[in-house]
Structure formats: C-alpha cells, structure tokens
Amino acid sequence: LLQETCKEVSKSTEKRLNDKALANLQKRYRNILTRAEKELPVSLPKPNGKRGRLAKSDAHNLWERLKIHEAAVLLFAKDPYVSFTNNRAERDLRMSKVKQKISGCFRVSEYAHAYCRISSYLQSMANKGYNPLIAIQIALAGETHKIWGE
C-alpha cells in the first residue's frame, strides 16, 4: 500500500494526495493493520517468578509501531516536503557519525556544533550545484549573501 501510494504521490503535480484520496488511504491502512493484528503470533503468558517485560516478536513490534505512528508513516502523502524514505537524512548524518567513531567523540560541544554547521552549509551548497571547494571559497570571501539572497 505504501509503495503504491508513493508512486501515486510522485506522479501527481502537487506531490501529495487530495483530501478524498488521503481519507481512502487512511481507511485502507487501518484495514490492513486490523487484518494484520489477527495474524500476529500469540504472546505466551508470563512465567511465574520472572520479572520484566515479556519479549514480543519482530512482527508484533513492527505492527505496534505502524499503529502508534500512523500519522508519521502517512505524512509523505499529505506534505510534499516529506520524502517517502529517510535515506537523505541518514546520508546527511553518516559523515558526522563516522567522524565521531574515528575520533572517539567531539571533545567540546562547540566543536560538534561547528562541524554540523559547516557540514550543513556544504550539503546545502552541493544541493544548489556548487563544488565544495568553490563553496568554501565563497564562504571565506564573505559572499554567501549573493547565493542566499540575504
């Protein structure tokens, strides 16, 4: 259903579903979740004398998250600025995580903020089609106002 909706959204000129189609999507989504609940494996009762929560199956955990976070799951069909996947966000965070793993950590939070700010600037410039070296030259020359229209 979600992949089908993604194709439908990407074909539309507005990059989102109209209200009627969105209501239909929610109805179908909830119907699938209701049918899926019946297919979930039965949870075993808690053994006597054992403490803590009972482990749930992967299928049950997935079903539970899809049910709880329905609005977030379907947001790509409602808001044209939300992408279907989070691949872009993961790619944006990957380099900072690699840097953190290599060096062990950012020594001071200021350095982490500076790294994120520089990285964000370079990614934004790359999205606008600028070479990273040219983007650095523009920043050092103080000419970013020409690009951002400030």
Q: Where are the domains of the chain?
A: 2-45+55-78, 88-148
Q: What is the pTM of this model?
A: 0.61
pLDDT at 150 over 60: no
73-101 tens-digit pLDDT: 999 999 988 888 877 767 777 777 776 66
Q: Is the alpha carbon torsion for 59, 62, 7, 127 positive or negative? A: negative
Q: Is 27 exposed, middle or buried (0-12, 13-18, 19+ CB in 10 A)?
A: exposed
- Distance CA(4)–CA(18), nearest Å, equals 15
- Per-residue model confidence (pLDDT) at position 83: 83
Tokens describing residue 123: 């990614």
Instruction: Give which of 66, 3, 77 is closest to 35, Cα–Cα.
Output: 66
Average model confidence (pLDDT) across the chain: 84
